[in-house]
Amino acid sequence: MSFKKLLLIFSIFLLSACNQFEKNKSLVFISDQKYSNTGFALIYDDQLKKEKKISKKIDNRSLLIFHNKIKKNSFVKITNPANDKSIIAEVISNNVKFSDFYNSVITKRIAEELSLDFNEPYIDLVLISNKSTFIAKKAKTFDEEKKVAEKAPVDGITIDNLGKEKEKEIIKKEEKFLYLIKIADFYYKDSAENMINRIKDETNIKNSVIRKLSKTKYRVLLGPFNDIKKLEKSFNEIKVLNFENIEILKDV
């Protein structure tokens, strides 16, 4: 086959691929470079195990968590957005069964360290790469804190936030319960509109909206919700569409 014929075939293939991309541009969405999720944590209690709402026990004195997407022995940074307190925890298991509505199962110790509202345990969770220098510096501290936790009762634990001086307690303002479910971010507005139509066609959810964040970023959201039961109901209903990483965002 001559060079000219090869060049012609390659050109046709390239143009076809470009046209196909243009047709399918509505399917392109923005994905995070590393795993992170904002939502509600489930604070472990033995009663949850008795009621079979969770399949495994966890030591409430520990800095360990359950997660269903992150590999075992990975480190995560958990932050309370209400006061910016954060802590490093280790994923002890990723095959524990619990409601998908929660982005993780955390211990009472972690909840107390972060001063979480036990009725509204809203957190930011970010996976920290094993190659991170941050992990290298904090690994020793984490092991030392874990040993302390294993010997102390939950109520008796008082440690500094991984070596940092404790900040002054922030007086919590009374805030209304108001959250949104984030489905995905899209480059194109018609992509977001197609997603809205899919949600309407395949579920009973009607309160879906599009928020323009920039010229090339459109966010599909559900809500707002002013009740945690309604929020959980819609979250569970949207699961049938098998989205990759649904998040719950505080509506401010």
Residue 95 in any domain: the answer is yes
Residues facing residue 93 across a β-bridge = 66
Q: What pLDDT score was predicted for residue 167?
A: 45
DSSP per-residue string spanning 226-249: SSHHHHHHHHHHHGGG--S--EEE
Residue 209 in any domain: the answer is yes
DSSP per-residue string spanning 25-40: GGG-EE--SS-EEEEE
* Total count of residues recorded for the chain: 252
Residue 30 in any domain: the answer is no
Residue 84 in any domain: the answer is yes
- Region 166-177: what's the mean pLDDT? 55
Residue 241 in any domain: the answer is yes
Q: Is the pTM of this model over 0.85?
A: no
Residue numbers of the domain that contains 50: 36-156
pLDDT higher at 191 or 154 = 191
Residues facing residue 141 across a β-bridge = none
Least confident of 172-176, 232-236, 245-249: 172-176
- Region 224-247: what's the mean pLDDT? 89
Instruction: Give the CB-side neighbour count of residue 4, counting CA atoms within 13 A.
Output: 0
Question: What letters, b where the CB count within 10 A reaches 16 and e where it falls short, cover 49-76?
Answer: eeeeebeeebbbbbbbbbbbebeeebbb
| 135 pLDDT more than 80 | no
Residues facing residue 91 across a β-bridge = 65
Q: Are residues 188 and 131 in the same domain?
A: no
Q: What pLDDT score was predicted for residue 149?
A: 52
Instruction: Give the CB-side neighbour count of residue 92, counting CA atoms within 13 A.
Output: 16
> What is the domain-level CATH number for residue 220?
3.30.70.1070
> What is the domain-level CATH number for residue 42?
2.40.40.10
Q: What pLDDT score was predicted for residue 111?
A: 96
Residue 78 in any domain: the answer is yes
pLDDT higher at 212 or 159 = 212
Question: 93, 124, 156 — which closes off a domain?
Answer: 156
Q: What pLDDT score was predicted for residue 142?
A: 53
Question: CA–CA separation, 193 vs 180, rounded Å?
Answer: 18
Q: Are residues 151 and 207 in the same domain?
A: no
Which pair of tokens denotes residue 115?
């001063």
Question: 156, 187, 210 — which closes off a domain?
Answer: 156
pLDDT higher at 211 or 251 = 211
Q: Are residues 59 and 126 in the same domain?
A: yes
Helix (H, G, I), strand (E, B) or coil at 17: helix
Residues facing residue 248 across a β-bridge = 181
What's the total number of domains in the chain?
A: 2
Q: Are residues 140 and 183 in the same domain?
A: no
Which pair of tokens denotes residue 114?
């972060």
Share above pLDDT 90 across residues of the chain, in percent, rounded to a whole number: 54
| 196 pLDDT more than 50 | yes
Question: 156, 190, 214 — which closes off a domain?
Answer: 156
Q: What pLDDT score was predicted for residue 23?
A: 39
Q: Are residues 228 and 196 in the same domain?
A: yes
Q: Are residues 126 and 220 in the same domain?
A: no
